[in-house]
Amino acid sequence: MKKRPRVRDIGLVLGELPVGTYNSITDVPGVKVGHCTVSFGSGALVPGQGPARTGVTAILPQAGNCFTRKLEAAAYVINGFGKSIGLPQLQELGQLETPILLTNTLNAPKVADALITYMLQRNPEIGVSTSTINVVVGECNDGYLNDIQGRHVQPEHVWQALESARSGVVPEGAVGAGTGMVTFGFKGGIGTASRLLPAEVGGFVVGVLVLSNFGSRRQLTIAGVPVGTRLVDYKEECPDDGSIMVIVATDAPLKSRQLLRLAKRVPFGLARTGSIASNGSGDFAIAFSTNLGQPHSSQPGDLQEAALVENGKLMSLLFQATVEAVEEAVLNSLFRATTVKGRDDRIVPALPLDQTVALLQRYGRLKC
């Protein structure tokens, strides 16, 4: 099968800021991503048995131990129709102390339990001589293609995603947690992108990874072009509210309040693709800094690592980087995803590239 392109491979350049080496969240130093895809069975749905079209994706936010060096972080609820785990404490304390896992809705508690075991093995003092752990798991509903009742993501799949996490190129589309996701009526899933800030303001990196599972076909917009309404030959698939998880990483040493400001810019990037954050859509953003941490053990009067002064020009560029990377990450999830047949022989087609490219050329959006 011919490899499907990313957005930039067809000559579509979104935004103004340059991209990183991999145009990925892994352009942020220390960040790694791993997937485990769980796909088996075919034909009619047998609840609890299959077919399965699901998986888990792991984002490791730093090379070191997340529990002993907690990272500054923030979470923003765009529309709260979701069942993510660990966000209240993250919002309250502004700290991330575990990898971030993404999976399907009904698998979230099972995946969280596996992540707890993973963290306990690496930090046996948890719950014995020190505090407990706040694991973070995001989710989207892949029940249109997947036997979601089966909760087929097992602890060994979680461990595989965590242990396989790497820097560099991130597989996108129908992989890991994205295996059964649907976006704008076409196959969606995992997408990623990055932006680089100018050297004169620090040369910082902003990277984004999305688990996209939202929108109706008519809403799909690419570089301002109403692509969805022009693809008249394609039947609408799974036209429900859906959801999206957005992970924003940066090496800019930002405090949780500043990271919340970045997370609040995520909806602007989503809106560029056609999102309206519909009533039943669970839309969540998590942002963290790899360059501002806090030790688990501290004494009164200890000082934290230094944060950036909130310079207006710098913050605006970080906001711009976030918006641009979110937009491109969503579109990469669509461009890279392949057609998937799931439960009850339901088929969700890949975005038709020939027609999409022709539309973008007609509107003068391609630089090739």
For residues 17 and 320, is the Cβ–Cβ distance under 8 A? yes
Residues β-bridged to residue 248: 208, 287
Question: Pairing mode, if any, of strands 205-214 and 242-250?
Answer: antiparallel
For residues 301 and 152, is the Cβ–Cβ distance under 8 A? no
For residues 269 and 45, is the Cβ–Cβ distance under 8 A? no
Coil/strand/helix, residue 349? coil
CA 44, CA 314: separation in Å to the nearest integer? Answer: 54
For the chain, the helix, strand and coil percentages under 3-state DSSP, each to the nearest 5: 30, 30, 40
CA 308, CA 255: separation in Å to the nearest integer? Answer: 8
For residues 101 and 57, is the Cβ–Cβ distance under 8 A? yes
For residues 100 and 247, is the Cβ–Cβ distance under 8 A? yes
Nearest CA-CA partner of 35 in 20, 54, 52:
54
In DSSP notation, 222-260 reads BTTB-HHHH-TTS---S-S-EEEEEEEEE-S---HHHHH
Dihedral over Cα of 82, 88, 93, 98: its sign:
negative
Residues taking part in catalysis: 243, 281, 283
CA 346, CA 342: separation in Å to the nearest integer? Answer: 5
For residues 130 and 92, is the Cβ–Cβ distance under 8 A? no
